[in-house]
A = this chain, B = another copy of it.
């Protein structure tokens, strides 16, 4: 393995952007990533989108002047963006191509009028359960099992709002209090509105290639993609815990590191409970102690292992297919020392994690964990 490097990254702004087209958002992300990489062409493209119509990728790439090369659009629910990153990374690692683009695009405000509708093909969707309900059931069980308070759940949204306030491209810029989070309207008990990510539109991109003599490049030490096990066999853990634990464990092993070597994380906090369970699955805390870890300040900016310095899905935003590459851009900026007011001092190793929604009794459609090194 000759290795894979991130040569450049770029993103659009995040938020409700009904007047932008998917192509115009992608165009901004791609041109920024190409300029950041110091190149104007790529040999192949992987595009992550969850609800983009057929041709979304080609329209967007056409607008950025990229045609004729192989273009593969991938879908993996909320992990669509990191699946594009993973496939692009593997294409460089295995020598298929020299210079590839990973792009995430999502324009949810033109796809859904309100919340994302339950998928009728799912057991859960057919019974009327959308993702907030599934996460809420996880949260309720977690609260009951581990004695965690509603204030501790809300603290995730508070922390990430403080991070997002430092991110000029974030969707939500205001710093929240626990009272504001708990006082927002109930979506699915115990998750209030400000504990749920919101529909948004954005694009994010990364240019990948072999390692080169360029100090700003970031190395992809490992990248692992995995799908979920049958959920009905798994009664010991909250939903989504096991797939992330297995994926992260493989990614650390392939990178030859332990969790203690990681300086910062961008993780899948689609709902507040998600970040708590994910930090446990990533090995930052034992099961049931993720909320205590948060309370200790460890995962806030200024703590020893910041989680979601960008503001995460809750504050930066969660444009599904773009999220994984937005996380990748944040870790890249952090490892270069280019993260401005939210810079994690001395960051050398960062981890990107996303987990795509589980359906029909599966513990997650897919998860990706990538270990990056500056």
Q: Which residues of A contact B (CB under 8 A)?
A: 21-23, 50-51, 53-56, 58-59, 61-62, 67-77, 83, 87, 90, 94-96, 119, 121-122, 225-230, 246, 356-357, 359-362, 365-366
A-B contact pairs, 15 of them (CB 8 A): A53-B121, A55-B360, A55-B365, A56-B121, A58-B228, A58-B360, A58-B362, A58-B366, A59-B122, A62-B360, A67-B228, A68-B228, A71-B366, A72-B76, A72-B83
Docked pose: A23 CA to B362 CA in angstroms: 14
Q: Are A71 and B67 in contact (CB under 8 A)?
A: no
Q: Are B359 and A59 in contact (CB under 8 A)?
A: yes
The residue that A74 contacts in the complex, of B50, B62, B67, B74, with Cβ under 8 A, is B74
Q: Are A227 and B121 in contact (CB under 8 A)?
A: no
Q: Are B359 and A55 in contact (CB under 8 A)?
A: yes
Q: Chain B contacts of A69 at CB under 8 A?
A: 226-227
The residue that A62 contacts in the complex, of B54, B77, B87, B362, with Cβ under 8 A, is B362
Question: Known contacts A68-B228, A229-B67: does B77 contact A360 (CB below 8 Å)?
Answer: no
Chain B nearest CB from A235 CB (Å) reads: 16
Docked pose: A246 CA to B70 CA in angstroms: 12
Question: Known contacts A76-B71, A83-B72: does B62 contact A230 (CB below 8 Å)?
Answer: yes
Chain B nearest CB from A54 CB (Å) reads: 5
